[in-house]
Structure 1
């Protein structure tokens, strides 16, 4: 199975930049990156370069709303950056030892028993195991320390 790590869709990111609002219609925060490697953009899937501006906002990476559509803080380059091309390689900004992978149904509901803290070098293997199941439509990759959404993994 070929996996692809997907950034946030450009249409969503463009809407955030155009309106200056997050998933709850609250204003986004604007900051400048103090150091290289600290703010991973969910659109280009790169770290915001040192000294460059970025947005901080609450984001819910789901189409609908139900009890399982989690929200968390994310960062985006400011101004808008080019979207990362979906790739079989995990994003380069992943520097932690462990991450959370969680499988979701086509109805955007967590499939119980799929959430696991996973070592960085095992992300692709565990995501492939989950996506081989008929009841899992996509896998979300999240920070193990802060539970922030990082990217979505799909079968190609």
Structure 2
């Protein structure tokens, strides 16, 4: 099975930049340049370059709302950046030793029992296992230490 690691859709990120509001309707935080860099942008799937400003905001990467549509903090490049190209490769900005992978059904609800703290080297294999199931529509990759949304994984078309 082939995978696609995808950043947030450009339309959603454009709306955030245009309105200046997060998923709760609160103003996004605009931060001056981060001299150290390293803030992982969820749109381009790269670290915000050192010396460049960024946005911090609460984001819910789902179209609907239910008890399983989690909201968490994310970073975005400021100004608007080019979107990441969906790729079969684990994004390079993911450098932690482990992450949480969690499978969701087409109704955007967590498929119980799919969430697992997964070593970085095993991300693709576990995502493939989850996406081989008919009840899994997509997999979210989240920080194992903070539970922040990092990117989404789909079956490649």
* TM-score calculated relative to the size of structure 2: 0.98
| Structure 2: runs of 5 or more not aligned | none
Aligned to 2:62: 62
Q: Secondary structure at the match of 1:99?
A: strand
Query: What do the CA deviations read for 1:68-114 (whole angstroms, capped 9, x no partner)?
Result: 00000000000000000000001110010000000000000000000
- Offset at residue 34 of structure 1 (A): 2.8
**Is it true that 1:105 corresponds to 2:74 in the alignment?**
no
How many residue pairs end up in the alignment? 155
Aligned to 2:35: 34
- Offset at residue 33 of structure 1 (A): 1.5
Aligned to 1:12: 12
**Is it true that 1:82 corresponds to 2:121 in the alignment?**
no
**RMSD between superposed Cα atoms in Å:** 0.5
Aligned to 1:150: 150
Aligned to 1:46: 46
- Offset at residue 66 of structure 1 (A): 0.1
Q: Secondary structure at the match of 2:17?
A: helix
| Structure 1: runs of 5 or more not aligned | none
Q: Secondary structure at the match of 1:127?
A: helix
Q: Secondary structure at the match of 1:61?
A: coil
Aligned to 1:72: 72
The whole-number CA distance in structure 1 between the counterparts of 2:39 and 2:72 is: 14
Q: Which runs of 4+ in 1 moved over 4 A?
A: none
